[in-house]
Structure 1
Amino acid sequence: MRVGIVARRGNDRAAALAAEVREHLRESGAQVWIDEATADTLAIDGHPVARMSDCTLVVSIGGDGTFLFTAREVGTTPIMGVNLGEVGFLNATSPADALAELTRELDHIEHEGEPRTRTVPRLRVSGEDISLPRALNEIVVMGDRGPGRGAEFTIEIDGSEYLDSHADGVLVATQTGSTAYNLSEGGPLVHPDVPALVVTDMAATDPMPPLVVDRDSEITITVGDGDTAVVADGRNRAALAAPATVTIGVADEPTRIAGPPLEFFSALDKLD
């Protein structure tokens, strides 16, 4: 059994917990790979995070940003998130419970061959000269000329027009991402068990309310003018030269989350 560990960079608490988790896993008989940045801090050998797609389980230690990074790199490999952030919608395990939860997962792997997981969708975006990794939270098509300037956008849902307006951008979120950037743009909260996507315009001249659509919907966004960009999970960006059209939908490969179930309503109490 091989288990990967990815800890938040530059965080002493995350590195210390990673060392503790590593020792616990090694005592349990698992082979352990730790990310290169954390390994440097601990003065041990490390591995590229992308290589951890070969692991049985990957442990992400940090906030949602660390989890998103890990998910992007390891694909469908199960990830158990240990929460060092303030909210932790993706990281359901507390540091105090990390070793006990890992023991449960290791026992399950030993008897069943894999950890217990729940799947959450990821988004794919396609368009001419667009190549971006799958997004767990959201994909944003936005004006690339500064806030308040934006571009002309047309949104179609399964071929039917929903919006035609000047806007700062258009945000498409999964139910997982409804608590992230979507929320700050006035989009609704969506329970994790609801198979839906949220389409939210960003400061449109002729706005429409945020729209919740079926998870299998195809969302087509046409940019009529201006220099724009497509951004996946706030990290990966691709330039888009208008006029241009992109299509957003659910990818075939989901993210698999291991560990205890998310206490969604308890996490909501931590939102400001």
Structure 2
Amino acid sequence: MGKVNVWMKRTFIVVISLIAIIGLLLLGLTLFSHGHLHKDEEIEDMIFGLHFMYAIAVVSVVLAVIGGFGVCKEKKWALIVFVVGMILSSLLLFGIEILTLALQPQMASELQLQYMHMLPLSNASEIMVDSLGEIQSELQCCGLNEGYLDWDYNIPDSCLCAENSINPCVAAPRKSRLFEGIVDDEPIMIYRESCLQYIIKTVMGVIKIAVGIMMAVTLLLVLSVVLGIIILCRLDRKVDTPPVVYSSEAKAGNYATLTETTEDT
């Protein structure tokens, strides 16, 4: 069995340690998300994704432990399990990344249809109004499709323009709820643009960031596979030992004994 270079071992341990840390962070994030969404009505639609994240996190940590054991104890079976598991994980993540990028237009269309079902906003539930109000304040917009007209005359305070507003504003209709109890003729400015375009843009941006992170993790897995294969090749290398040659002359011993002659005095 060959000997593995100590720097190769250390590099491999650093890489699998990063994989284990990422797996533990993903596991913690999944546990937090599961607990946060436990009482949510839409948890049933997300349960498959949560279980998938659990599986990816646990498998990453287990494979990292197996790989660390294999490289420290120089066990080839453990390294083979690690390499095969990481190859399968890399292929799975790579397929998910390609599928996600290919389905982005369809995801944007489905998201748009989902929000369009909320119209008219004047008849929306209180929970939906509060949720959309937070979006309007954060993204500096009003309404979903046709701006403030989606609210009819029941325009919420979240449509009011902030002093440092980036998006353009317009004067609110005089018949809107915003003018209740106001007697002066001062205009009330509200956001002009609708929120749906900003919502879709924000969600698609988050998806692209998530795919980018997944690609970085996939490259890290590929690097660990390459290092694992190199270490396996080193372990399989036979150590050349010099052959032992028998010599009759060595047995007989061609040696001369040096003696000192002394003269009797």
TM-score above 0.5 = no
Q: Which has the higher contact order (CA 8 A, sep 6+)?
A: 2
Q: Give the alignment's TM-score, normalised by structure 1.
A: 0.20
Return the index of the structure with the highest Cα Rg.
2
| More helix, by proportion | 2
